Amino acid sequence: MQNGNESRVSDRRVDWLCLLFLLAVNTFYYRRILFLGEIPEGNDLQYQYFAWKNFFISSLKEGIFPFWNPYIFSGSPVIHEILAACFYPFDYLFLILPIPWGFGLSYWFHLTLGGFLFYWLAGQFIDLKPARLLAATAYMLSAPVLTRMGEGVPTMNQTYALTPLFFIVGKFLYENPSLRWLGCFSWVCALFVYAGHPQIPFMAVQLFAAYLLYRTVADYRGGRASGEFLRAYLFLLLGGFLGLAIAAPQAFPFLEYASFSATRAGGAKYMFAAEGSLPPTHLITSVIP
């Protein structure tokens, strides 16, 4: 028994050392922002996200929750624009932080969080600590994550950080359908939407569905009862619907707003709408940079 306890303590120490390594790597990467006062760059950040956040936070400080932005053309909805992430909890730190420095802190925090969560996710499939650490480091410093920071797209970094958590909690709910994990999954799904970049949750749901298909086949061959499959899938569907209900203040206005876009309303030709999209021949870049 003593050896077993000592082994668990040793494993936890290794886990803490791995997390400390991820924190140190990310802090070094953002040293100029954290310690030298530099601010993030990127056209989208400077000309789009900063304006949104400045208008939203300034309005809140005046005691106004802004539903309408009168400064864009003849006016534009605010909460309908999901990229503005008006309900994302972390963004309310901008009420006490200077907005440029707040974006830098958000980058650092979410990159670190993504590394920590991916280390946890990797632990669901890999026992070796060095392999888990390598997987987390590769995710945290991957090209899709870092290049979007260079472009200045904070909402994408927020959703990247939460993606491992979506898979972790979804996996736990599939394996152990219970009210506790149902509640956790619902809130994670809602937070995933509130983070403000719908493309990533959309793709994550598809990847998670593929994982569920694989697990269903493997578990069926392993003798899992049909009733357990039904319970697991019902809990997952219910969790998704509850998450959408929690995220309704953001999700439904966004869907209404999207219906008036050039592509959805039929005002754009296919070639124009598809410009910049990922062609099927480049799907391999989803797994290989």
Which stretch, 37-41, 141-145, 237-241, has highest mean pLDDT?
Answer: 237-241
User: Over 90: is that where the pLDDT of 270 sits?
Assistant: no
Pick the range with the lowest mean pLDDT from 66-80, 193-207, 251-265. 251-265
- The overall average pLDDT reported for the chain is 88
**d(Cα 206, Cα 209) in Å, to the nearest integer?**
5
Q: Give the whole-angstrom CA distance, residue 196 versus residue 204.
A: 14
Count of Cβ atoms closer than 10 Å to residue 19 Cβ = 17
Q: Is the pLDDT of residue 47 over 90?
A: no
Q: Is the pLDDT of residue 281 over 90?
A: no
Q: What is the pLDDT of residue 288?
A: 63
With CA atoms as reference, report the closest residue to 286 among 198, 203, 189, 168.
Answer: 203
Asked whether the predicted pLDDT for residue 217 surpasses 90, the reply is yes
Q: Is 41 exposed, middle or buried (0-12, 13-18, 19+ CB in 10 A)?
A: exposed
CA angle 227, 233, 236 (to 5 degrees): 140
Note the pLDDT tens digit of each residue in 146-200.
887 777 889 999 999 999 999 999 999 999 999 999 999 999 999 999 999 998 9
Whole-number Å distance between alpha carbons of 226 and 118: 31
What pLDDT, on a 0 to 100 scale, did the predictor assign at position 264?
62
- pLDDT average, residue stretch 263-268: 63
Between 215 and 43, the more confident residue is 215
pLDDT at res. 185: 98
Mean pLDDT of 91-113: 91
Determine the average pLDDT of the residues in 18-44. Answer: 90
User: What pLDDT does residue 266 have?
Assistant: 63
Confidence band of 62 (pLDDT split at 50, 70, 90): very high
- Helix residue ranges, H only, the chain: 2-29, 31-35, 43-44, 50-61, 99-122, 129-140, 143-151, 154-175, 179-194, 199-221, 226-246, 248-258, 270-273
Q: Identify the residue with better confidence: 176 or 288.
A: 176
pLDDT at 209 over 60: yes
Taking the C-alpha atoms of residue 45 and residue 54, their distance in angstroms, rounded to an integer, is 12
Q: What is the mean pLDDT of residues 257-278?
A: 70
pLDDT at 158: 93
